[in-house]
Amino acid sequence: MISRCRWLSHLCLLFTVMAIMACHEESRSNALKIGLAEEPRTLNIWLASDANSRKVLSLIYQPLYIYDPDTLDLVPWLAESMPMFDEQNLTYTVRLRKAKWSDGTPFTSLDVAFTGRLIQSFKVPRYSSKWKFIKQIETPDLHTVVFHLKKPMASFLTGTLFTPMVQEKEWASVAEKAKTTEKPVAALLNHRVHHPVGTGPFTLEQWQRGAFLHLKKSSYFFGTGKTINGRILGPYVDDLVYTVFGTSDVAVLALKKGSIDMFWWPIQPGYLADLSRQADIRLFTNEKSALYFIGFNLRHAPFDDPALRRAVAYLIDKDFIVSRILQGQGTKMFSVVPAENRFWYASDLPRYGDGLSRENRLKTAYRLLSEAGYTWTVPPVDADGDIQPAKAIRLPTGQTMNRFTILTPPADYDPHRAISGLMIQEWLRDLGLPAYARPMAFSSLLQQVKGNHDFDAFILGYGRLRLDPGYVRNLFHSSNDKSRGWNMSGYHNPAFDRVADRSVTEMDPGKRQVLVKEMQKMIARDLPYIPLYKPSVVEAVRKDRFDGWVEMLEGIGNIWSMCQVKPVKHDGA
Amino acid sequence: MALRRFVLRRLVEIAVIFFVIMTVLFILFRLAPGDPVSRMVDPSMTPEDARLLMESMGLDQPLWTQYIYYLKNVVTGNMGVSFHYGEPVIGILMDRLPNTILLFTTSIILSALLGVFLGKIAAWRRGERIDTLMTIGALFCHTLFLPWLALIMIWFFGYRVGWFPITGMISPEVWIHPDAGFMAKALDVLYHMVLPLMTLVLIHFGSYLLVMRSSMLDTLKDDYIITARAKGLDEKTIRDHHAAPNAALPVVTSVGLSLAFSINGGALTETVFTWPGIGRELVFSVSHSDYPLAQAAFLLIAIVVLVANLVVDVLYAYLDPRIRY
Amino acid sequence: MGHPSSLSPTPKNTHSISAGKQRHHWVERFLDGWAVYRKNTIGRIGMALLGIFALMALASFVPQMVDPMYHPMTGVDPEISHSTGPSMRHWLGTDFIGRDIFSQLLAGARIAFMVGISSALISILFGTTIGMVAGYAGKGTDIWVIVLMIALFRWPGVARVIRSQTLSLKHRPFIEAARVAGASHGRIIFRHILPNVMPLALLYMTFRVTSAIIIEAALAFLGFGDPGSVSWGMMLQWVWKTGHMFQAPYWLLPPGICISLITMAFYMAGRAMDDVLDPRLRKEEIKP
């Protein structure tokens, strides 16, 4: 009994000592502590499709070009200058910078050619489509690469040139070995990388699985001390330490407590009121390249009728969604291309019902549908032009409209989409449409919509749209209307297909822009998807620790920030 | 002799049950909507990419081929490669297992000690106010919803008063320090364990208290206690040296089973405290359709629980002589 | 799997054959038990709590009849677009989009009873589940699938305990005596063993109810719940996932407390019943 008591008291003492120790061990180091929402998947760049691995690997493996944070133009990165296009021979010539790999060996054109051939020969998923139109890669000298294209391909500039480069020395033997196996791609993707060799500002020091990942400043980074694109590059921090937080409210607590300096993950509107009151925390709000939309099944009634889709577009109050559901942290959308993607965005599209009151939206939609031949037992607008509860809408064929469902992800996966679904249901019912919103587990939803095409309408979103508008063709081209294909709506329009096909091979950005705008116009007219909104990215950092964050589309977590962020100098410290 | 035959029979049963569980798991995961590739909804990924990915995961094969491949894997003990991490599943699980064992073994032993200690007192003072209070208190603590309590604990001890780290198992500051020795690292882990331990003990000690209490009440009626009393031994000696050790036997059995179950019971705790163990991996693999990892994790749990059940059955045979096989 | 279904009608038959005496015996046993139960403070508290929760479950149909905005899943207050504290209009406040927390809490009680009792019944009468699997397979997530999953993974525990109790009963004198007297196996099982195992099965059922409720809450909390139903675990997940965890105590506390209280109520009722039925069974304790 007594001995146990003593043992307990010893334990208490130990904990007290440790607590005191922990209080004293206020980190004075120059390490930037970053919170992540999930463990990075892998250090193998070819497997890394998840956002969290990319947050680490994008600081190690570098592409030839990157985007300017303000203008989103191409900026030569591993390349020395802009690519030179020879229209006659269909070649692009790229001059390379004198950069070094993190093991000290020089980065050469051979590495670029190796990377390209590796992707081509293994058909590496996600990259192979950006390289398969390249016929040949020539290396006239160690710092020049010439790409020969099979046919004109617009995505060369926005896709191929953004491929992260890997070192021949590191990967040649891996590739050799993978080729001898039964499944070469799987062997390559599942190759375990312990020490990634890159050309970026940081290198891997240590990865304690499930706990933290430690990056150190690379002494061979080509940008250190240089001015690129008007910015003097560092990095000015010696260490980056990533810690994983299972849930974001705990990460927010850690940020408030000072255990981390930055949470690299968008913050839910629920936290914002509290965080903006904290003296030591700074919030950054940035736009996102995203598209959240309601899509329809054009393969059967009732949404095979464009008039009905247009009426629905009139009924949806995007201002309500943005101001109430997103709590103001977002913008409404009218095109499938986000407005921030300035070059490709078509600004002159119809804005169905924008700015109208509820009543006028309903009246306009009613008029549209009456003209299209829809009838009601009790119409939503009575003879005097007043609103009344509508009953039993009938299709132009005279049949009663069957009830239809709007599938949404569940509220826990994305509360915004789930609630938008509910609100849209209410608005449609005002017109007498038998709409039922149904939250559904995310994978079941994809199965229904993408796999089986068994649905009426659905709300989904793309959170990380590429800046290249190639996806507009993917989403609506009739050849993609198949199980698991991207054309989930089943939109078939030969005129759209023709324009879309031309836009793929159009090398002149100006001419391609015209085509892409033309495509957006057709979509806005036929409305297989009604674009709804696009949430903003809100991120939080400690302002008493680091400064110099670079804001960009998608937020402050980008290579420019990591090359420029500096510790805050405290007076007297 | 009979016991040996019983054990043999149970082992065969376990093998059959294991095979059934294995098959059911395979079917359940394949029936579940969605697949690992369809989750990747980046529209820049072409259908060809998707096909290549499916192929590299072996998901393009007909189901029965996949099933035979899976059986082969289980038999050879190589559970395949995780879709998500691209690494052998066994390695990942073995990496996480020690963390789970460390946290839960400690918590179960601590809760059992506390439960035995308090249960003894409650039984000794049966019917008094302290007994009622302890019983109700134990029931109340036991029924607290774990993640709810855990988050409140994190908020209070991790943030409000700030005594303990908010989550995780180690602090990077200590580990990346060049001259951090083993002691410093061990202390760091211990320091991170305090909050999850407190939560787990608070929730689990109640059941041990109740087991101990009722077992102690039974024991107190036994002849040898009456004999001890008759001998004029003082009450404390009887309580601590005669009654308690015998009464604690059911607690020991219960601890044994809990240890087996703890291997999966930690999903909630590990998720909330970001503790890198099996439970968190399990939740993650199920929600990411990582079939090989999820299957292997479930099989690991199944086998541990099946074996523990056998052990408990055998133990019962020893503890209750009325049971004959 | 035909075993449990062939088992259930048999006791009924025995009832009807020897009706008068048998019923008298059971009624008497029940009244005796009730008398003991009523003296038990813990049991009384448990019963009272269960009564309150049952009332809540019944009352859950009322709010949406008052006004559609009180519908726990789809009702949104037209004037409130963020989480607000308790008011006259919303007794426990609203969630992040203006749904009424009080009506969600009531709906949660309904789900808790449904999940708890049905999965407990199923885990005891496992055979009937096969039909349900066939009926519901391939329909995506649904509350019944969750119930089924819980039942599926919990029945072996019940079976194990019942089996060991039966094993231990088999060698007791009164069974030996019956066998010597020439009773058939069926008679021994249903007339002598079953009544002795039933209390344990009932006791275990109360424990299963609580663990089913907790498991459902845990699954919902982790995001594996049925998105179309409002349970307490689901409510906690909404608080958690929308970032209101440490900012909206009026939203965080009620579901957590309700989960604790309802499980506690079942435990208390179970413990009191266990005192009533057979003090020897007191050792069967709750599993962490």
pLDDT tens per residue across span B241-268:
777 777 777 777 777 777 766 765 578 8
Task: Provide the domain count of chain C.
Answer: 1
pLDDT tens per residue across span A341-397:
888 999 999 999 898 988 899 999 999 999 999 999 988 888 888 888 888 899 999
Q: Above pLDDT 70, what percent of chain C?
A: 58
pLDDT tens per residue across span B170-188:
888 887 777 777 888 888 8
Q: Given an 8 Å threshold on Cβ–Cβ distance, is C223 in contact with A412?
A: yes
Give the Cα separation of C245 and B148 in Å (integer): 10
Q: Given an 8 Å threshold on Cβ–Cβ distance, is B324 in contact with C167?
A: yes
Longest dimension (CA), chain A: 93
Angle at C204 between CA C202 and CA C205, to 5 degrees: 60
In a domain, C286, yes or no: no
Contacts of C171 in chain B (CB under 8 A): 322-324
Size of interface A-B (CB pairs under 8 A): 183
3-state SS class at C164: helix
What pLDDT does C277 receive? 61
How does residue B74 score in pLDDT terms, banded at 50, 70 and 90? confident
CB A458 within 8 A of CB A330: no
What pLDDT does C91 receive? 87
What's the CATH class of domain B92-323?
mainly alpha
pTM for the predicted model, two decimal places: 0.80
Report residue A546: phi and psi, to 5°. Answer: -135, 155
How does residue C202 score in pLDDT terms, banded at 50, 70 and 90? low
CB A457 within 8 A of CB A440: no
CA-to-CA dists, residue B115 to A181, A242, A497, A566, B316, angstroms? 56, 39, 72, 53, 21
- Residue C60, domain extent: 31-78+92-278
Closest C-alpha among B63, B61, B76 to residue B26? B63
Contacts of A419 in chain C (CB under 8 A): 76, 97
Residue of A248, A413, A441 with shortest CB distance to C243: A248
Q: Given an 8 Å threshold on Cβ–Cβ distance, is A270 in contact with C247?
A: yes
Residue ranges of the domains in chain A? Answer: 65-170, 291-535
Give the Cα separation of A558 and A264 in Å (integer): 10
> A440: nearest CA in chain B?
B33
Give the Cα separation of B51 and B60 in Å (integer): 8
Q: What is the rounded (10 degree) CA torsion for A270, A272, A274, A276?
A: -170
What pLDDT does C194 receive? 64
How does residue C286 score in pLDDT terms, banded at 50, 70 and 90? very low
Taking residues B224-228, report their average pLDDT: 78
CB B278 within 8 A of CB B160: no
**Token pair listed for A327:** 């709590």
Residue ranges of the domains in chain B? Answer: 2-75, 92-323
Give the Cα separation of B155 and A274 in Å (integer): 15
Residue of B144, B147, B211 with shortest CB distance to C260: B144
Which residues, other chains included, contact B149 with Cβ-Cβ below 8 Å and sequence gap of 6+?
B199, B202, B203, C256
Give the Cα separation of A248 and A183 in Å (integer): 38
Give the Cα separation of B172 and A240 in Å (integer): 10
Of A34-38, A549-553, C52-56, C111-115, give the lowest mean pLDDT range. Answer: C111-115
Beta bridge partners of A435: A404
What's the CATH class of domain A291-535?
alpha beta
Mutate to test the interface with A, among C149, C240, C245 (most CBs of A within 10 A): C245
Taking residues A387-416, report their average pLDDT: 86
> C164: nearest CA in chain B?
B323
Pairing of β A404-408 and β A457-462: parallel
pLDDT tens per residue across span A515-543:
999 999 999 999 999 999 999 999 999 99
Contacts of C239 in chain A (CB under 8 A): none
In a domain, C25, yes or no: no
What's the CATH class of domain A65-170?
alpha beta
Closest C-alpha among B222, B265, B213 to residue B242? B222
Give the Cα separation of A338 and A343 in Å (integer): 10
> How far apart are the CA of B259 and the nearest CA of chain C, in angstroms?
11
Q: How far is CA A408 from the centre of its chain?
A: 19
In the block, tokens 């420019």 appear at A560
**Token pair listed for A114:** 């190796």
Closest C-alpha among B89, B64, B61, B63 to residue B76? B89
Closest C-alpha among A216, A271, A264 to residue A238? A216
| C132 pLDDT above the threshold of 50 | no
Contacts of A322 in chain C (CB under 8 A): none
Q: Given an 8 Å threshold on Cβ–Cβ distance, is B158 in contact with A450?
A: no
Of A296-310, A342-356, C241-255, give the lowest mean pLDDT range. Answer: C241-255
> C141: nearest CA in chain A?
A441
Average pLDDT, chain B: 80
How does residue C197 score in pLDDT terms, banded at 50, 70 and 90? low
Q: Given an 8 Å threshold on Cβ–Cβ distance, is C286 in contact with B210?
A: yes
**One-letter-per-residue 3-state SS of C76-109:** CCCCCCCCCCCCCCCCCCECCCCCEHHHHHHHHH
| A90 pLDDT above the threshold of 60 | yes
The answer for A268, left when phi > 0, alpha when psi is -120 to 50, beta otherwise, is beta
Question: Looking at the complex, does the CB of residue A367 fall below 8 Å from at least one CB of chain C?
Answer: no
Q: Given an 8 Å threshold on Cβ–Cβ distance, is C228 in contact with A439?
A: yes
Closest C-alpha among A1, A200, A2 to residue A99? A200
In a domain, C9, yes or no: no
3-state SS class at A95: strand
Give the Cα separation of A60 and A45 in Å (integer): 10
Chain A, 387 to 416: residues with Cβ < 8 Å from chain C are 410-413, 415
Closest C-alpha among C191, C239, C213 to residue C26? C191
Of C45-49, C106-110, C220-224, give the lowest mean pLDDT range. Answer: C220-224
Is the pLDDT higher at C205 or at B24?
B24
Contacts of A439 in chain C (CB under 8 A): 227-228
What pLDDT does A412 receive? 67
Question: Looking at the complex, does the CB of residue A266 fall below 8 Å from at least one CB of chain C?
Answer: no
Contacts of A1 in chain B (CB under 8 A): 240
Give the Cα separation of B317 and B294 in Å (integer): 35
Question: Looking at the complex, does the CB of residue A443 fall below 8 Å from at least one CB of chain C?
Answer: no
**One-letter-per-residue 3-state SS of chain B:** CHHHHHHHHHHHHHHHHHHHHHHHHHHHHHHCCCCCCCCCCCCCCCHHHHHHHHHHCCCCCCHHHHHHHHHHHHHHCCCCECCCCCCEHHHHHHHHHHHHHHHHHHHHHHHHHHHHHHHHHHHHCCCCHHHHHHHHHHHHHHHCCHHHHHHHHHHHHHHHCCCCCCCCCCCHHHHHCCCCCHHHHHHHHHHHHHHHHHHHHHHHHHHHHHHHHHHHHHHHCCHHHHHHHHCCCCHHHHHHHHHHHHHCHHHHHHHHHHHHHHHHHCHHHHHHCCCCCHHHHHHHHHHCCCHHHHHHHHHHHHHHHHHHHHHHHHHHHHHCCCCCC
3-state SS class at C270: helix
What pLDDT does B227 receive? 80
Residue of C242, C245, C246 with shortest CB distance to A415: C242
Taking residues C231-236, report their average pLDDT: 88
What pLDDT does C118 receive? 77
Beta bridge partners of A74: A67
What pLDDT does C281 receive? 40
Compute the Cα dihedral for C166, C172, C174, C178 and give only its sign. positive
In a domain, C85, yes or no: no
In a domain, C258, yes or no: yes
Q: Given an 8 Å threshold on Cβ–Cβ distance, is A249 in contact with C96?
A: no
CB A154 within 8 A of CB A512: yes
Is the pLDDT higher at B61 or at A556?
A556
DSSP C192: I
Mutate to test the interface with A, among C69, C77, C81, C222 (most CBs of A within 10 A): C81
Closest C-alpha among A316, A456, B314 to residue C164? B314
Give the Cα separation of C226 and C143 in Å (integer): 6
> C41: nearest CA in chain B?
B132
Give the Cα separation of B134 and C155 in Å (integer): 31
ipTM above 0.90? Answer: no
CA-to-CA dists, residue C183 to B188, C8, C170, C177, C179, angstroms? 67, 20, 13, 9, 5
Report residue A301: phi and psi, to 5°. Answer: -65, 155
Give the Cα separation of B245 and C107 in Å (integer): 47
Mutate to test the interface with C, among A412, A444, A446 (most CBs of C within 10 A): A412
Give the Cα separation of C255 and C214 in Å (integer): 12
Give the Cα separation of A250 and C240 in Å (integer): 10
Give the Cα separation of C87 and C76 in Å (integer): 15
Closest C-alpha among C280, C272, C266 to residue C52? C266
3-state SS class at A217: strand
Give the Cα separation of A376 and B187 in Å (integer): 74
What residues of chain C have any CB closer than 8 angstroms to a CB in chain A?
74, 76, 81-83, 96-97, 140-141, 223, 227-228, 234, 237-238, 240-247
Taking residues A554-565, report their average pLDDT: 91
Question: Looking at the complex, does the CB of residue C1 fall below 8 Å from at least one CB of chain B?
Answer: no
Instruction: Identify which of B19-23, C1-5, C90-94, C200-204 has the greatest average pLDDT.
Output: C90-94
pLDDT tens per residue across span A486-504:
899 999 999 999 999 999 8
Q: Given an 8 Å threshold on Cβ–Cβ distance, is C236 in contact with B309?
A: no
pLDDT tens per residue across span B3-54:
778 788 878 877 887 887 788 778 877 766 666 666 555 555 666 777 777 7
Strands, E, within A84-201: which ranges?
Answer: 84-86, 91-95, 134-141, 144-149
> C42: nearest CA in chain B?
B136
Contacts of A246 in chain B (CB under 8 A): 167, 270-274, 280
For residue A539, the surrounding DSSP H or E stretch is strand A537-542
Residue of B34, B55, B272 with shortest CB distance to A246: B272
